[in-house]
Amino acid sequence: MKSLNRGKVEAQKLLHLCGLDDVIDLELDFFVAGLITVGLDVLLIEEEMANCDGKIIFGEKKSIIKVNSKIQFGQRKRFVVAHEIGHLLMHRNFELPEDTFANFNVIEGMENTLRNGKQELEANEFASELLMPENLFLKEAMEKKFTPSLIKELSEKFRTSLTATVYRYLQHSQLHPICIVFIENGRVKYWKKSEDLKVWMSDYNKLPPPSDSVAMEYLQKDYDFIYTLEEKAQTISKSTWFKLNQYDEDSDFYEYCIPTKRYRTILSIIWED
């Protein structure tokens, strides 16, 4: 997809210009300050913002990236900053809305659900490539069994949120096939699966998740954490989320949920061993 390629290529170009393979060990405020050496004069400011996680203000000579100081997790702030750098490089001549939580969750094929969806998709892909370079990500994830522990390990390695790490994992067809379902305010907003996961999703768009799903357990517990890391991969039936045709037998799948109480969202990851 053209927009995805653009974000990825621009991130790779920037790393090359800066003489870096990755930014894993760099604090992004130092990285942003150093962009002046490649002709980008940018000021990074953290301040309290209402209903907004990040924004960019373009200036003729200097631009300003603002990040909401109320964001609790450093991994999330890093993604917001990287996302805004993507806007800086690719979208100077566009009128962009303020970035909110929903903007950072858009995935390929879902860009039409947002205003300026294409630009948000490009900025997200830029941020993913900047923070989790493809070659390094694949090196860390390849030939490893998919588990919640693997996502946690990758998240810690790249200093990214669990959610951003899962989205990055889904982008790579070389890795274990998974399906993700994004649930907001108790309703399924969208889903996407790896091409190699040969299943047919039941129609849950705009509906609550299935009554026997792990996602429903989290809704019933008001988004509180239910399981320890070792227990987060809960066994479910294939028929919980997927349609069975006349030749299918029901079988065991696994479901792992990442709830975010502040935003009343759940990211559900479903896979088969």
Q: Give the start-to-end residue ranges of the domains of the chain.
A: 2-134, 177-273
Predicted confidence (pLDDT) per residue in 16-31, tens digit: 999 999 999 999 999 9
**Domain made up of 177-273: CATH architecture:** 2-Layer Sandwich (3.30)
Ranges 107-121, 183-197, 255-269: which has the least confidence: 107-121
With 80 as the cut, is the pLDDT of residue 242 above it?
yes
2 falls in which pLDDT band (50, 70, 90)? very low
Confidence of residue 104 (pLDDT cuts 50, 70, 90): confident
Question: What's the Cα-to-Cα distance from 84 to each of 97, 122, 145, 252, rounded to whole Å?
Answer: 12, 11, 33, 41
Residue 253 class from Cβ within 10 Å (0-12 exposed, 13-18 middle, 19+ buried)? buried
Band the pLDDT of 94: cuts 50, 70, 90: confident
Query: What pLDDT was estimated at residue 204?
Result: 93
Q: Can you name the CATH fold of 2-134? A: Arc Repressor Mutant, subunit A (1.10.10)
Q: For residues 147-166, b (16+ Cβ closer than 10 Å) or e, as one string?
A: bbebbeebbeebbbbbbbbb
* pLDDT (mean) for 160-176: 95
128-147 pLDDT tens trace: 999 999 999 999 999 999 99
Q: Can you point out the beta strands (E) in the chain?
A: 42-47, 54-57, 63-68, 179-184, 187-193, 200-201, 234-237, 242-243, 252-260, 265-271
Please give the average per-residue pLDDT across 235-251, as a whole number. 93
Cα maximum dimension of the chain: 64
CA distances from 110 to 67, 105, 217, 228 (A): 24, 9, 26, 31
Would you place residue 3 in the very low, low, confident or very high pLDDT band (cuts 50, 70, 90)?
very low
- In the prediction, which pLDDT does 1 show? 39
For 8, residues 6+ apart whose C-beta sits below 8 A from its C-beta are 125, 126, 128, 129, 134
Among 178, 115, 96, 124, residue whose Cα is nearest residue 1: 124
Token pair 């969806």 is found at: 117
Q: How confident is the model at residue 116 (pLDDT cuts 50, 70, 90)?
A: low
How far is Cα 148 from Cα 52, in angstroms, rounded to an integer? 29
- When mean pLDDT is compared across 95-99, 173-177, 195-199, the lowest value belongs to 95-99
DSSP state of 261: T
Nearest 5°: CA angle at 155, between 166 and 113? 35
